[in-house]
A and B are shown apart, each in its own frame.
Chain A
Amino acid sequence: MNEFALKTQLPSYLRTEQDRIRKVAEEYGLDFFPTVFEMLSYDQMNEIAAYGGFPNRYPHWRFGMEYEHLAKSYEYGLSKIYEMVINNNPSVAYLLEGNSLTDQRMVMAHVYGHVDFFKNNFCFRTTDLDQGGKTVDPAQRPATYDPNRRWIDKMANHGTRIRRHASRWGTTKVGEFIDHCLSLENLVDPHAAFRGKGPKEVAAEDEENPETMDVPRLKSKDYMESFINPQEYLDEQRRKIVAEREKSKKFPRERERDVLGFLLEHAPLERWERDCLEVIREEALYFLPQMQTKIMNEGWATYWHSRLLTERILDASEIIDYADNAAGVLATSGGRLNPYKLGVELLRDVEERWDKGQFGKEWEDCDDLDAKRNWNLRLGLGRKKIFEVRSLYNDLTFLDEFLTPEFCARHKLFAIQWSNKADRFEIETREFKKVKEKLLFQLTNSGNPFIFVDDANHENRGELRLVHEHDGLDLKVDYAREVLRSLQRIWKRPVLIRTVVDHKPTILRYDGREHAQAAAPAESKEKGK
């Protein structure tokens, strides 16, 4: 890191720029971690981008793949990375050597937007390393908030740990195991940090033989006993107790969403294996907030670079170059949704609505279109509102709450569906409800299916049963089979998942040798709920 830092210092004219932009950003009320800018050549940039922004990661071929893609698209002139910033305290951002001064200014302003978001958005609270397993209250923060987010060090340590295992157990062996872990990477619980640890498992009481144990009886006089507590009643009670006891033997008691965490605690892993799995899980959780807030985060940074630059930073001669560049960033092509554009436009829309007072019951109830068009209460609450939004929302809740039919129509959003007839993706509809539904669905759980650990002792054979909470979409079955293979490698016993394929409840199972697919027994449906 040291040798690396030496070579990448900012030239002094950019440091002056940085000071200026930082001051302006502070005047606008942005609140960010200290931010270090470094200057990289394009091949260094590609390398670091391949590592997700970190100078040091664990060794894995997928970073090499990413690098090849970045390098090739740069060489062919298809794309280049302008900026990169990582959620770390202090934050580190990279500038590309050889960009024009206008571009560098834009990047710096953009970066300060991101860092403000990292610091203030509730999702990123889960990346504070000094939580020590305590439950995080998403809305509360100490007055002086200076969390430990030294993820650069942590990632580098992860690298060292995995390299050590690799040199001891063999690169291929460890590499293969990491591939298996990565297949399970999306099986984490994003809310774990906010939910805290569940209640302690109640220690099981000494079990009595159900045949001889005392069943609680209703109070009665001796001569009434056989009437008040008849034998049938006692048998019934006994059955209930036994059933209750069976249920408490079920493990885990409740469905567990944090599959990786569950495996970490309960799978029969060797020490190096557990260590690798832990690294993968921690890093998956680290990157999760960025996926949950992609639209907002980019929108927020874009909103701020555009304000800072056009209002304070640029001089008139640079405006055209800036506008040219900004147009590129916000362009939509081929009907694709551009998160930068969607984010910034929706934020601006919220700001305008709160400035003009276009919210609340009166606004909702008004159906005079003309009145609505000219609605302006001059409240000026917009700025305050968007600062609140950037702290308390993620993409899902942001769009759920603020996406309006007017916005949808103005920005020409549509829903896409696959047409079997034409063998292509087609515009399905522009109907607001449908569009919003699809958008929210994509953002729910970052677009991943909901998978839970249902029973770790399936059929009393120590098999691991997962359940997929089917919400209308099937799993990709060939991929699911491969994931089961990885799961089996970790659990060491047969694994199965209950899902739905073509409207039929189905069990996919892998026992270490072969895959099986069978109709799921209907009765087990309620089990574990």
Chain B
Amino acid sequence: MSLKIDQDHSRFRHIVKGKVRENLKKYVSNGELIGRKGKDIVTIPLPQIDIPRFRYGEKQQGGVGQGDGKPGDPVGGDPGDQPGQGKKAGEGGGEHSLDVDLTLDELADILSEELALPDIEDKGKSKIISAKDRYTGIRRVGPESLRHFRRTYREALKRQISVGSYDPSRPVVVPVPDDRRFRSWKTEPEPVANAVIIYMMDVSGSMGDEQKEIVRIESFWLDTWLKRQYKGIESRYIIHDANAKEVDEHTFFHTRESGGTMISSAYKVCADMIEANYPPSEWNIYPFHFSDGDNWSMDDTLQSVDILKKRILPYVNMFAYGQVDSPYGSGQFIKDLREQFKADDRVVLSEIRDRDAIMQSIKDFLGKGK
């Protein structure tokens, strides 16, 4: 059955994609494609167009909430949503994005659906498939050790109430065998594969906070996706300006140097790392490099290409280079790479203009299923 809403819906999609009504595009808040890893709570990317109205700034207004806690404790959500306004009443107020409980696995599913990502084809390095049990349902028979206490209790309570043997003043509930419920499981095959992601980032003076934030968001999603695909994934981090060094995750995202840029230095460290720790027969290797593309000299670029060709590409699943737009960089490096590796599909290049382009870039990187 075709729905009346289809027309309005496709019109909305067009606006979001910027095909019509360019003037509205600026109100598209992209429900940021980023999650807070904390308690596995993530924000789902649903684009939203706000109709501007005379209204108060949210931060000034505050609101009223309900629950435990003492003054100074944080409050979840957005109190700007007033109790007086809600979707159910018809015309709701501005709801921005949906904050929901999702596990990272589910998140990766959604991501793959949104971006139509293919599953990664294993290079045939590790064909061992192990089985894993997941508890997914409830059934009436099973071993005692898997008895689901709450469901059993509930069944017993229902039965007692319906036959009238339940006495609220003496609430004793005695299950009979028929009431018992057990967890049931499904066995799912799970490929055992080892993978390492090597993140490299240019931290030279021309990379600003916004550029780093883009890298952070993007690497979060790459991590999420690859973790879904591989068990036992490792992440390594390398930062470079004119020199490169390996750092931990926190340092990676919070360092700001000011020197020049020698990309070859990072590739050298990366190649050494692969040689020392990750024999390609056992590992799926994913180097990702982010930079603003402003390399020191052509010499260094040629040297980088040389290292890539000889010491990195033969060993890795793919090499990904993401170039973020910066007001300072010339952005030359991606052009050089493009020229050098035109025919090589192990090298994936992507330009990331701004936050909105992150999704497309993830698609560039992961869309080939390598």
Are B3 and A427 in contact, CB atoms less than 8 angstroms apart? Answer: no
Cα-based distance from A427 to B24 in the complex (angstroms): 36
Residues of A within 8 A of B73 (CB): 426-427
Q: Mark A416-450, 1 if CB is under 8 A from B, else 0.
A: 11110010111111100001001101110011110
Are A442 and B83 in contact, CB atoms less than 8 angstroms apart? Answer: yes
Are A73 and B98 in contact, CB atoms less than 8 angstroms apart? Answer: yes
Residues of B within 8 A of A69 (CB): 46, 48, 95, 98
* A182 at interface, CB cutoff 8 A: yes
Residues of B within 8 A of A332 (CB): 66-67
Residues of B within 8 A of A59 (CB): 7-8, 11
Taking a contact as CB atoms closer than 8 A, the residue among A61, A335, A476 that contacts B55 in the complex is A476
A48: min CB distance to chain B, Å: 9
Residues of A within 8 A of B60 (CB): 418, 473-474
* A292 at interface, CB cutoff 8 A: yes
Are B100 and A76 in contact, CB atoms less than 8 angstroms apart? Answer: yes
Residues of B within 8 A of A381 (CB): none
Are B84 and A334 in contact, CB atoms less than 8 angstroms apart? Answer: no
Taking a contact as CB atoms closer than 8 A, the residue among A46, A60, A72 that contacts B8 in the complex is A60
Are A442 and B82 in contact, CB atoms less than 8 angstroms apart? Answer: yes
Are B90 and A43 in contact, CB atoms less than 8 angstroms apart? Answer: no
Taking a contact as CB atoms closer than 8 A, the residue among B4, B8, B47, B69 that contacts A414 in the complex is B69
Are A479 and B54 in contact, CB atoms less than 8 angstroms apart? Answer: yes
Residues of A within 8 A of B91 (CB): 52, 287, 290-291
Q: Mark A164-208, 1 if CB is under 8 A from B, else 0.
A: 000000001001100100111111000000000000000000000
Cα-based distance from A342 to B84 in the complex (angstroms): 11
* A14 at interface, CB cutoff 8 A: no
Which partner residue on chain A sits nearest B20 by CB separation?
A: A172
Q: Which chain B residues in 46-77 approach chain A with CB under 8 Å?
A: 46-49, 51-77
Taking a contact as CB atoms closer than 8 A, the residue among A62, A315, A320, A417 that contacts B49 in the complex is A62
Residues of B within 8 A of A429 (CB): 71
Taking a contact as CB atoms closer than 8 A, the residue among B49, B62, B66 that contacts A428 in the complex is B62
Cα-based distance from A447 to B10 in the complex (angstroms): 32
Residues of B within 8 A of A422 (CB): 74
* B192 at interface, CB cutoff 8 A: no
Are A414 and B64 in contact, CB atoms less than 8 angstroms apart? Answer: yes
* B174 at interface, CB cutoff 8 A: no
Cα-based distance from A478 to B52 in the complex (angstroms): 9
Cα-based distance from A441 to B82 in the complex (angstroms): 10
* B85 at interface, CB cutoff 8 A: yes
Q: Which chain B residues in 317-346 approach chain A with CB under 8 Å?
A: none
* A64 at interface, CB cutoff 8 A: yes
Q: Which of B125-133, B153-161, B214-222, B361-369 forms contacts with chain A? A: B153-161
Which partner residue on chain B sits nearest A324 by CB separation?
A: B154
Residues of B within 8 A of A290 (CB): 89-91
A466: min CB distance to chain B, Å: 9
Cα-based distance from A274 to B76 in the complex (angstroms): 43
Which partner residue on chain B sits nearest A7 by CB separation?
A: B1
Q: Which chain B residues in 18-41 approach chain A with CB under 8 Å?
A: 20-21, 23-24
Are A427 and B69 in contact, CB atoms less than 8 angstroms apart? Answer: yes
Q: A64-B5, A67-B5, A68-B46 are in contact. Are A451 and B51 (CB under 8 A)?
A: no
Residues of B within 8 A of A129 (CB): none
* A454 at interface, CB cutoff 8 A: no
Which partner residue on chain A sits nearest B106 by CB separation?
A: A76
Are A483 and B62 in contact, CB atoms less than 8 angstroms apart? Answer: no
Taking a contact as CB atoms closer than 8 A, the residue among A81, A295, A427 that contacts B75 in the complex is A427
Taking a contact as CB atoms closer than 8 A, the residue among A56, A175, A184, A443 that contacts B84 in the complex is A443
Are B85 and A291 in contact, CB atoms less than 8 angstroms apart? Answer: yes
Q: A183-B51, A185-B53, A412-B68 are in contact. Are A426 and B74 (CB under 8 A)?
A: yes
Cα-based distance from A413 to B77 in the complex (angstroms): 16
Residues of B within 8 A of A449 (CB): 54-56
Residues of B within 8 A of A338 (CB): 66, 83
Q: Which chain B residues in 99-155 approach chain A with CB under 8 Å?
A: 100, 102, 106, 110, 154
* B309 at interface, CB cutoff 8 A: no
* B353 at interface, CB cutoff 8 A: no
Interface centre among A182, A337, A475 (most CB of B within 10 A): A337
Are B55 and A475 in contact, CB atoms less than 8 angstroms apart? Answer: yes
Are A316 and B162 in contact, CB atoms less than 8 angstroms apart? Answer: yes
* A139 at interface, CB cutoff 8 A: no
* A20 at interface, CB cutoff 8 A: no
* B12 at interface, CB cutoff 8 A: yes
* A505 at interface, CB cutoff 8 A: no
Cα-based distance from A426 to B63 in the complex (angstroms): 10
Cα-based distance from A235 to B72 in the complex (angstroms): 65
Taking a contact as CB atoms closer than 8 A, the residue among A176, A413, A478 that contacts B65 in the complex is A413
Which partner residue on chain A sits nearest B157 by CB separation?
A: A320
Q: A185-B53, A320-B157, A443-B84 are in contact. Are A47 and B5 (CB under 8 A)?
A: yes
Q: A72-B44, A186-B54, A319-B161 are in contact. Are A335 and B8 (CB under 8 A)?
A: no
Q: Which chain A residues in 47-91 approach chain B with CB under 8 Å?
A: 47, 49-53, 55-56, 59-65, 67-69, 72-73, 76, 78, 81, 84, 86
Q: A172-B20, A443-B84, A479-B54 are in contact. Are A64 and B90 (CB under 8 A)?
A: no
* A297 at interface, CB cutoff 8 A: yes
* B17 at interface, CB cutoff 8 A: no
Are B52 and A473 in contact, CB atoms less than 8 angstroms apart? Answer: no
Cα-based distance from A430 to B44 in the complex (angstroms): 33
Cα-based distance from A468 to B98 in the complex (angstroms): 32
Residues of A within 8 A of B208 (CB): none
What is the interface of chain A, defined by CB distance below 8 A to chain B? Answer: 43-44, 46-47, 49-53, 55-56, 59-65, 67-69, 72-73, 76, 78, 81, 84, 86, 172, 175-176, 179, 182-187, 287, 290-292, 294-295, 297-298, 315-317, 319-320, 332-339, 341-342, 395, 411-419, 422, 424-430, 435, 438-439, 441-443, 446-449, 451, 468, 473-476, 478-480, 482-483, 486
A-B contact pairs, 16 of them (CB 8 A): A44-B3, A47-B3, A64-B8, A67-B5, A69-B98, A287-B89, A294-B83, A317-B161, A335-B77, A336-B65, A336-B77, A414-B65, A427-B70, A430-B71, A439-B64, A449-B56
What is the interface of chain B, defined by CB distance below 8 A to chain A? Answer: 3-5, 7-13, 15, 20-21, 23-24, 44, 46-49, 51-79, 81-91, 93, 95, 98, 100, 102, 106, 110, 154, 157-158, 161-162, 164
**Told that A187-B54, A414-B71 touch, could you supply 11 new A-B pairs with CB distance under 8 A?**
A56-B4, A68-B13, A73-B98, A317-B161, A336-B65, A415-B63, A416-B75, A441-B61, A473-B60, A476-B56, A483-B54
